[in-house]
């Protein structure tokens, strides 16, 4: 799972998908953990799957790009340590966007290419999302990362969603609306109404 940028709803969508699939959740590289980790958010929002969240391989306190946070904290990130956990089903959340540097030589997209797993792009529906989504699609395809589809987050924007799906030649999986009350039951209901679980089998 990747997003077009940071802070666009990737973690909430990951929680919804984790709960719907009864999956394990893993975020291999976490930044900004001084103010909380995404694993904790997923544990709160994924319902019965809360105990299936896996620890991060790298957990960095500063809210910076992973390569920068690691340098500031005296940590050396070894991409070889980011091997896939031997559990299935597994929802993996990447850090930031696809070209976020994990080290000064390796991006998130490079790690996705190494794994060879189907990747979901989480995209907001607001201004700028067409450009960011199409750039994300190009970056993944350039590395031969298989794209499962795009999951939108935000208010309905049919033109934007259709344009991304058509121009990017990707499947539109559905759209998760913003929720007035964000909790596990409300998220599960919204996901069930907006997505077909068979699309994620």
**Domain coordinates in residue numbering, the chain:** 2-196
Q: Are 84 and 54 in contact (CB under 8 A)?
A: no
Which residue shows structure tokens 């960011």? 132
The residue ranking higher by pLDDT, 7 or 99, is: 99
CA separation for the pair 200, 171 (Å, rounded): 12
Structure confidence at residue 49 as a pLDDT band (50, 70, 90): low
CA separation for the pair 19, 40 (Å, rounded): 14
- In this structure, of 2-6, 52-56, 138-142, the range with the lowest mean pLDDT score is 2-6
For the segment 90-114, the average pLDDT, to the nearest whole number, is 97
User: Among all residues, which ones are annotated catalytic?
Assistant: 27
pTM of the model: 0.96
The CATH number of 2-196, from 1.20.200.10, 3.10.20.740, 3.40.50.300, 2.40.10.10, is 3.40.50.300
CA separation for the pair 173, 197 (Å, rounded): 10
């Amino acid at each position: 799972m990747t997003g077009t940028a940071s802070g666009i709803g990737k973690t909430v969508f990951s929680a919804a998908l984790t709960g719907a699939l009864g999956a394990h959740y893993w975020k291999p590289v976490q930044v900004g953990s001084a103010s909380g980790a995404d694993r904790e958010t997923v544990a709160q929002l994924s319902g019965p799957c809360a105990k299936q969240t896996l620890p991060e391989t790298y957990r960095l306190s500063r809210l910076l790009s992973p390569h920068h946070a690691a340098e500031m904290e005296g940590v050396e990130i070894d991409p070889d340590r980011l091997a896939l956990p031997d559990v299935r089903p597994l929802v993996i959340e990447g850090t930031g966007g696809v070209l976020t540097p994990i080290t000064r030589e390796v991006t998130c997209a490079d790690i996705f290419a190494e794994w060879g797993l189907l990747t979901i792009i989480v995209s907001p529906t607001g201004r700028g999302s067409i450009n960011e989504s199409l750039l994300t699609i190009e970056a993944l395809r350039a590395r031969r990362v298989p794209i499962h589809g795009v999951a939108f987050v935000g208010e309905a924007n049919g033109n934007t969603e259709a344009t991304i799906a058509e121009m990017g030649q990707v499947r539109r999986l559905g759209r998760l609306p913003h929720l007035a009350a964000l909790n596990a039951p409300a998220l599960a209901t919204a996901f069930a109404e907006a997505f077909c679980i068979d699309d994620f089998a």
